[in-house]
Amino acid sequence: MAPPTGLPELRAWFAAQAGGDVTDTLIVSGGQSALSLAFRALAAPGTPLLVETPTYPGALAAAKAAGLRATAVPVDREGVRPDLLAEAFAVTGARVFYCQPTLHNPTGATLSPERRRQVLDVARAAGAFVVEDDALRHLARKAPPPLVSMDAHGTVVYVSSLTKILAPSLRVAGVVARGPAAHRLRAGQLVESFFVPRPLQETALEFLGSPAWPRHLRTVHAEVSVRLNALLAALAADLPEAEPHLVPIGGKHVWLRLPPSVDEAALVEAARLGGVLVSPGRMFYPAEPPGPRLRVTFMATTRAEELKEGVRRLARAFAETVRPP
């Protein structure tokens, strides 16, 4: 049996990723479980939860299950806007903000160090917690330090997962928190799942402590770059009407803005029938979306060469479903 908080060595590894202390690190069963635990521990049912818009659908589902009201805070190409975040705190009285400062899902935005400081300042001024979802950090060669590494006041609850970088079945994540938040999270873990199975934690530790881990990171980073460039080139050549929101520093996705004449649902279905799976933009919004969007994943194919054919098929579906102006 493993300790309820997790194996000390694995807790230390996650704490090092956050730049913090192992004392308040908790091992949980994957990032989705971590978000559910954090939302339930930090906010009471019926209260608002501030989220970026668009945002990760799994976070919206976890918020709904916890009885929270997801309230949208707009983002731009640099991530969440601190001025609008301050306004949202003031208007709603929310005390928790969920965000993805690094490789935001779905837009791919990464907050600059300056904007990270501004977000922390806004949250502290509101007396609120920030739940930092850092699930995609390892899919970039280099990214700014996590928000939690800049936090000396217990404002940030940090979530990091091995699922995206290693394997979907490796349901292991770390939650780093300080002060009252840490106590609430530990109590919630005991009620919800007690502990992560020891063999799973030991498997993760064995890989992370071996020479295979840095080799794996180098291989993934190289493949991310190749596939991202291949997707962007194919879109520019065969589907220029789909405008990338930005070019991310890594990750798995590209967020596309479509012309208003496109029926988003019809395009997604036509693409599926043509053998291409893309995510409809609507599912990423806590409220009404501003227009048709798509999230295209470039790391799910067997080979980078398949991306070009995928874009060709998506372009055919686009031509079939676009409405006349």
Which carries the bigger pLDDT value, residue 2 or residue 114? Answer: 114
d(CA 311, CA 295): 13
Q: Which pLDDT tens digit goes with each residue over 70-120?
A: 999 999 999 999 999 999 999 999 999 999 999 999 999 999 999 999 999
pLDDT confidence of residue 300: 86
In eight-state DSSP terms, residue 50 is E
Q: Which pLDDT tens digit goes with each residue over 200-211?
A: 889 999 999 999
189: pLDDT strictly greater than 80: no
pLDDT confidence of residue 192: 65
Can you say how many angstroms the Cα of residue 120 is from the centroid of all Cα atoms in its chain? 18
pLDDT confidence bin for 48, thresholds 50/70/90:
very high
194: pLDDT strictly greater than 90: no
Which carries the bigger pLDDT value, residue 98 or residue 1? Answer: 98
pLDDT confidence of residue 190: 62
pLDDT confidence of residue 98: 98
Can you say how many angstroms the Cα of residue 216 is from the centroid of all Cα atoms in its chain? 21
Share of the chain above pLDDT 70, in %: 95
d(CA 172, CA 200): 8
Q: Which pLDDT tens digit goes with each residue over 249-304?
A: 999 999 999 999 899 999 999 999 999 999 999 999 998 889 999 999 999 888 88
pLDDT confidence of residue 240: 96
Reference 28, options 154, 200, 146; nearest CA is 200
pLDDT confidence bin for 21, thresholds 50/70/90:
low
pLDDT confidence of residue 23: 60
Q: Provide the mean pLDDT of the chain.
A: 91
Q: What is the mean pLDDT of residues 226-232?
A: 96
pLDDT confidence of residue 224: 95
For the chain, the C-alpha Rg in angstroms (whole number) is 20
Which carries the bigger pLDDT value, residue 186 or residue 55? Answer: 55
Q: Using N-to-C axis directions, what is the helix angle for 212-238 and 305-321, rounded to 10°?
A: 40
Q: What is the mean pLDDT of residues 30-45?
A: 90
What domains does the chain contain, in order, with CATH numbers? 8-208 (3.40.640.10), 213-321 (3.90.1150.10)
d(CA 28, CA 323): 47
Q: Compute the half-sphere exposure of residue 144: CA atoms within 13 Å on the CB side of its CA.
A: 18
